[in-house]
Structure 1
Amino acid sequence: MSATIIPAETRVIELEDLSIDLVCFEHAFKALNDRRVAGKLDGYVEATLEANPSIADRGLLLPLGSTIILPEFTIRATSKSGVRLWD
């Protein structure tokens, strides 16, 4: 099994109406180039909240000029074994 790493980054919020989960999705998509995988990451938003302890106090939408630390995140590949009808 291989693992994919989303690199750490510090980002300054320059657009209005961004939420922490949207910032995490955009960063993951930029690193992975796969919307499906980036949208289904388990634990990345939580890891970002842990790296930014006071970010939740700012409200649902991040204020302009906020600095967000997006942590390095490892995605472990899972093997999907299933039943194949014609083998």
Structure 2
Amino acid sequence: MSEIVIPAATIRATREDTSLEQLCFEFAHQVLGDPRKAARLKGYVEAAIEANPGIAAAGLVLPLGTEIRLPEWRISNRVEQVRLWD
């Protein structure tokens, strides 16, 4: 079983009308190279909120130039097998 690691990083909101969720997705997509994997990350946005105390006060759309710390995030490549019948 292997893991994929999204490294910790500090990024900035460089476009208007950007949300934290969008920044997390774009960074994960850049690292993973697959938009489907990036879209299915669970808990990454919540971890980014925890890493940036007070960011929720900025609202849904981040002010231009807002600096965001993204935490290191580990993703397991383990595939769960589902059996329809025993």
Normalising by structure 1, report the TM-score. 0.90
Which stretches of structure 1, 4 residues or more, deviate above 3 A after TM superposition? none
1:13 matched residue in structure 2:
13
Q: How does 1:6-85 map to 2 (within 5 A)?
A: 6-82=6-82
Q: CA RMSD in A?
A: 1.0
3-state secondary structure, aligned to 2:63: coil
Cα deviation, 1:9-65, whole Å, max 9, x if unaligned, reads 101211000000000000000000011110010010010000001110001000011
Q: CA deviation at 1:80?
A: 2.8
In the alignment, structure 1 segments of 5+ residues that lack a partner are: none
In the alignment, structure 2 segments of 5+ residues that lack a partner are: none
Q: How many residues align?
A: 83
1:2 matched residue in structure 2:
2
